[in-house]
Amino acid sequence: MNETLIKKSPTAKPSEIRLGAKEWVKLPELNLTLRAKVDTGAKTSSLHALNLRTFEQDQQLWVEFDTWVAPDEELIQLRLPVVTQRHVRSSNGVLQERLVIETWLHIGALQQKVQLTLADRSRMKYSMLLGRSAMRHPVIVEPSRSYIQSAPIHSSSDHPALAAHQPNSVR
C-alpha cells in the first residue's frame, strides 16, 4: 500500500500539498467523482455503502454494495474484493466492524492507493470521509477553506498503473 504519486510542477515541493475541509476526490477504479469531508480527527476513511452483500469469488471475500455520489442521485452498484475487516468507532461512539476495500484516490495532483471502510453515511452530508490514514503524504489541512485542490484528474491514462485496471463495478 505504499503507492503514492504526486503530479506537480517542477518548482512545487511535496510539503505544498494543501487540502481544505472539503475536497473533490476521484476514485477512478470505481468511476466515482465526489465531494469528501477531510477529517484529521478520523483515522480511517469511509465510503457510503448500502445493501452490503458479501460473497466468495476465486477463493476471496468480495462485497457488493450500493453507493451514490450525492443523496439526490441514483444509486450505483459496485462489486469489489474485501481487503480486510476492521473495528471502527463511529462518530456517535459506537464500535462497529466494517468491511474494507482498497482503491486509487486522486485529489488534485495527489494520487495514491487508499483503504476505505464501508458504512451507511446516508445521514451525513458527504458520501465520503477522508481520514488521516489516507494522508500518508505530508498534507496541510486548512479547515477554514474548501476545495483548495483543483478538480481531480479524469483520465486513467494519466496514471500508468491505472491504465491497465478496469473498474470492478456494475453500473
Q: Provide the β-strand partners of residue 27.
A: 32
Which grid coordinates are listed for 101? 476495500
The per-residue pLDDT for range 75-115, each reduced to its tens digit, is 999 999 999 999 998 777 889 999 999 999 999 888 999 99
Domains and CATH numbers, the chain: 13-166 (2.40.70.10)
Structure confidence at residue 72 as a pLDDT band (50, 70, 90): confident
**pLDDT tens digits along 139-151:** 889 999 999 986 5
CA distance 120 to 5: 30
CB atoms within 10 A of CB 77: 13
Q: How many Cβ atoms are within 10 Å of 45's Cβ, its own excluded?
A: 23
Task: Report whether pLDDT(170) > 90.
Answer: no
pLDDT at 66 exceeding the cut of 70: yes
